Structure 1
Amino acid sequence: MSYEDVQRVLDQAIEKYGVPGAVVEIRDGGETWFGTAGVADLTTGARRVPGEYMHMGSSGKAFTAAAMLQLEAEGRLTIEDPVEKWLPGMLGGGNGYDGNKITIRHLLSNTSGMFITGIAPEMSRPYATRSMFDRNRFKVWTKEDLLKLAVSQPPIFEPGAAFAYSNGGFYVAGAVIEAVTGNSYADEVDRTVIKPLGLTGTHVRGLHETGYPDPHPSFYTSQFLKEGADPADVTAENWQSMMEEPGLTPLDITAFNSSAGWSAGGVVSTVGDMGRFFTAVSAGGLLPAEQQEKMWTTVSTEGGHWMPNARYGLGVFELDNAPLRGLGGSLWGSYFHIFGTLDGEHTIAVHTNTEWKTWELAFDLVAAEFGRGK
């Protein structure tokens, strides 16, 4: 099969979107194709290679959902349980949240009404400008820090009423996993997801971890506000106008503490492992049928300032204009998405060694490979 159209999209991304380097892996039945563009390292000019370790950003949400659904399959909880059952008082601190109304399903489907944690000033301010990022790149976020942040602003709607992409809900979900099992979140993801699937290149990043196994690309970010800008002034509507001017040299953040991701996005993996994980959660092979169906029971994302043309399940999504599923995410210096057919047999995965720039790259690749999805 020819992948010239896919390679063309990949090559164009380097200049068009300011991506240092990108890789694509396509699996179609028994055939695998791997393509690259740009570089793994801007200083040495080294090319990107198969088997690289990289941060998967919010792809980790799918691991959290899968681990929770495995616990349900084991009879240890149900996703209809209210948060209050497992974390008494955690959502009752007087800021408008009610742990008796918010369920585990709400957390995992981003329908809890919890505010959009990613734009909270407490989270964004330490990394807002180049100089601040460099000073705070090794800042450690504990579970307690993240749970406090999750309820630091009032809810934005009643549980189940709408969709809003909130890391805070997944922080709470990680705490539920620990409360139910008595084990760490990382250990439970390893027990319920990583080991059963034999994902030897995958792990949940440790609290003080700041590097990657070899091989790995260098990771770069240019996601900065202009020097002197106040993150408290950023909204979903005005953020683009407050960003640093384009064309400046990206900052190398390969050495970086990503503990702010935790159960909302703390997984390091390879493109190959992510393909195996996606196929298992999409087509079956990890979860029992009942939990598999729950993972892919989707809600509308309309008005949620998220990916267009998509419906959200539990840590995963489906396109509403094509019979394709996917998962993915972005963190400073790293962006990953995988899309595939419902049976998981035909997939396309993309990673760039810089953060998300535009949905167009992902949708252009989908259109090039599947001839649909835009």
Structure 2
Amino acid sequence: MSANENVQQVLDWTVAEVGVPGIVAEVEDGDGTWFGTAGVADLTTGAARRRGELVHTGSSGKAFTAAVLLALEAEGRLGLDDTVNTWLPGVLDPGGNGYDGDLITIRHLLSNTGGLFPTGLAPEVAQRYATRAGFARHRFDTSTVADMLDLAVSQPPVGLPGERFEYSNGGFHLAGAIIEKATGNSYADEVERRIIQPLGLADTYVRPAADVGYPDPHPRAYSKLFFKDGTDLATLTPENWESLMEEPGLPPLDVTEVNSSGAWSAGNVVSTTTDMIRLVSAMAGGTLLPPAQHRQMWTTVSTEGGHWMPHARYGLGLFEFDKSVTAGRPLRGVGGSLWGSWFFAVGTPDGRHTLAVHTNTEWKSWDVLFKIIEAGFGISVGR
């Protein structure tokens, strides 16, 4: 059985056993391009998923943010070891919740090692979006940059700068604000000029703050990622959140129309599997950035204890799997999850073999990721 046939089996299994409404996978390697699908794009009409759908890529957008800042460094316009206070004086005020903008650098922000707390677990976010009732009230709210920067420091640090990895959208929101301060342009314009246009990503864009839908073709998005009614969201922690989720068996909520402006430079990019394969191939293979910046992008840190994906190290906005679990094969990629969407793209460092996958519901199991990697790359992932 071919690798692509094995991938198709995993797609079928994901729909039948994991409960994903629909899933697509695209593979590009020395034999050309293959595309597979299982399940549906729309639970009401039963329409099938198809090639070329525009989807939300979640935190895959962090790679765009990191690449823009690395490009600015290559031009001598800033340095990764510049402190936050160099560019955003006063935003990180040690007299507030304990963050010191003279100690946290751009490199810390992009590697999730700045000591910022995991923004997604902020009580304000949970109260607005983490229950079905809260989501219904707030799904079309727009977040400003000022809102996001306030949220980034709304809880105390989880460690000293450089001490440990903790996945935090807030750090990437600070990074986005630095891009705008350093260039005088919008974050979206810089991503367009430095990444989308050079790579020819014809179906990729930073989602405007006012957008609540997607151009056609696109799948419907479905969510069951809500906490139980009556949950005291103030007790939410990285350790206990899974135990507080609502009971299985409830129908999914259609969350296709939603305002995702609060993701911004931490991951608000819409794209296709084809475009994201091109992006990951360029970033993994070193064809987008100068050699010095490429090396920095892939200088990784341990994610152990950082409440994130298992068996992976983190670079600047991207990840690299530990070779001990990928049969010695180096594999690099991006990934992210948002309401009704989970996306990942993984490839070899030479950029010659890359696969991209999207489900029209959030992350449900790391088994989906690892089974597809096993099938697509012909390896046995040790977990």
TM-score under structure 2 normalisation? 0.96
Structure 1 residue 258 displacement after superposition: 0.4
1:128-277 to 2 correspondences below 5 Å: 128-277=130-279
Indicate the SS of the match to 2:173: helix
Aligned residues with identical type, % of pairs: 63
Equivalent-residue separation in structure 2 for 1:231 and 1:94 (angstroms)? 23
2:348 is equivalent to residue 347 of structure 1: no
Which aligned runs of 4 or more in structure 1 are off by greater than 3 angstroms? none
Structure 1 residue 15 displacement after superposition: 2.8
2:336 is equivalent to residue 335 of structure 1: no
Equivalent-residue separation in structure 1 for 2:9 and 2:145 (angstroms)? 43
Residue in 1 that maps onto 2:32:
31
Residue in 2 that maps onto 1:94:
96
Q: State the superposition RMSD in angstroms.
A: 1.0
2:290 is equivalent to residue 288 of structure 1: yes
Equivalent-residue separation in structure 1 for 2:366 and 2:230 (angstroms)? 28
Equivalent-residue separation in structure 2 for 1:317 and 1:327 (angstroms)? 6
Indicate the SS of the match to 2:90: coil
Equivalent-residue separation in structure 1 for 2:274 and 2:252 (angstroms)? 27
Residue in 1 that maps onto 2:123:
121
Structure 1 residue 29 displacement after superposition: 2.0
Equivalent-residue separation in structure 1 for 2:381 and 2:108 (angstroms)? 27
Equivalent-residue separation in structure 2 for 1:30 and 1:4 (angstroms)? 14
Q: Is the 8 A contact 1:56 1:329 kept in 2?
A: yes
Residue in 2 that maps onto 1:54:
55
Equivalent-residue separation in structure 2 for 1:240 and 1:316 (angstroms)? 25
Q: Is the 8 A contact 1:82 1:103 kept in 2?
A: yes
Equivalent-residue separation in structure 2 for 1:343 and 1:215 (angstroms)? 31
Residue in 2 that maps onto 1:373:
381
Deviations 1:130-175 (A, max 9, x none): 1221121101111000000000111111100110000010000000
Q: Is the 8 A contact 1:125 1:230 kept in 2?
A: no
Name the amino acid aligned to 1:364.
K
Residue in 1 that maps onto 2:84:
83
Distance 1:166 1:364, change over 3 A: same
Gaps of 5+ in 2: none
Equivalent-residue separation in structure 1 for 2:171 and 2:18 (angstroms)? 31
Q: Is the 8 A contact 1:319 1:373 kept in 2?
A: no
Indicate the SS of the match to 1:3: helix
Name the amino acid aligned to 1:373.
V
Deviations 1:57-87 (A, max 9, x none): 0000000000111111111001111111000
Deviations 1:314-348 (A, max 9, x none): 01011112311111110111000111111111112
Structure 1 residue 94 displacement after superposition: 2.0
Q: Is the 8 A contact 2:3 2:376 kept in 1?
A: no
Equivalent-residue separation in structure 1 for 2:178 and 2:150 (angstroms)? 15
Equivalent-residue separation in structure 2 for 1:325 and 1:44 (angstroms)? 36
Equivalent-residue separation in structure 1 for 2:305 and 2:277 (angstroms)? 30
Deviations 1:103-156 (A, max 9, x none): 000000000000010100111211121122112110111100000000011111
Gaps of 5+ in 1: none
Equivalent-residue separation in structure 2 for 1:145 and 1:77 (angstroms)? 25
Equivalent-residue separation in structure 2 for 1:314 and 1:179 (angstroms)? 20
Name the amino acid aligned to 1:325.
R
Equivalent-residue separation in structure 1 for 2:133 and 2:88 (angstroms)? 38
Indicate the SS of the match to 2:28: strand
Residue in 1 that maps onto 2:312:
310
Residue in 2 that maps onto 1:7:
8
Structure 1 residue 2 displacement after superposition: 4.8
Equivalent-residue separation in structure 1 for 2:203 and 2:227 (angstroms)? 34
Structure 1 residue 30 displacement after superposition: 4.6
Structure 1 residue 38 displacement after superposition: 0.4
Structure 1 residue 373 displacement after superposition: 3.1
Residue in 1 that maps onto 2:300:
298
